[in-house]
Amino acid sequence: MNYMGQDTSKVHVWVGINYDPSFDNYFELDDSGVDVDDTRYKICGFCKDIAEKWYDEDWIGVVQSPVSVDLDTLLGDELSVSDITLADIKKKCVDKGLKSANAMFYYIDALIEIKDKDKDYNSLFYIGAFDTDL
């Protein structure tokens, strides 16, 4: 699917445990007014990790709980995916040793490619790219 220039057919999902109070800093875009191509533009941690200078805030979701919860609770209704896909996401989490977690983020964009699938992304595991219901 294409929605206002964004390919919404895939959602990338990261899940894990991160209690750091500065968790959200990883996603902070430079709002100084400097153009993204200017050398003074500060590229956020998330952007660096997905090899982009910028991301569309309308297509990201970030969840952090003060305590670890089961995967059903964490993933809940956050992701626009089928029940079958949600079950696949949960299985991939368990395969990575996660039966519970306190943090997740996702980004809807089929055009980005996550090259290092084993990297530590703000202390979370990259779970994969999945078909959306959008």
Condensed to tens digits (0 to 9), the pLDDT of residues 74-129 reads 998 899 999 999 999 999 999 999 999 999 999 999 999 999 999 999 999 999 99
Domain-located, residue 94: yes
pLDDT at residue 72 in the model: 94
Cα–Cα distance between 126 and 117 in angstroms, integer?
6
Whether residue 76 is contained in a domain is answered as yes
Q: What is the pLDDT of residue 32?
A: 94
Q: What is the pTM of this model?
A: 0.93
Nearest to 64 by CA among 9, 114, 22, 93: 22
In a domain, 37, yes or no: no
Q: Which domain holds residue 85?
A: 2-23+56-131
> Does some domain include residue 99?
yes
* Residue 40 within any structural domain of the chain: no
In a domain, 69, yes or no: yes
> Domain tally for the chain?
1
State the average pLDDT over residues 20-37: 95
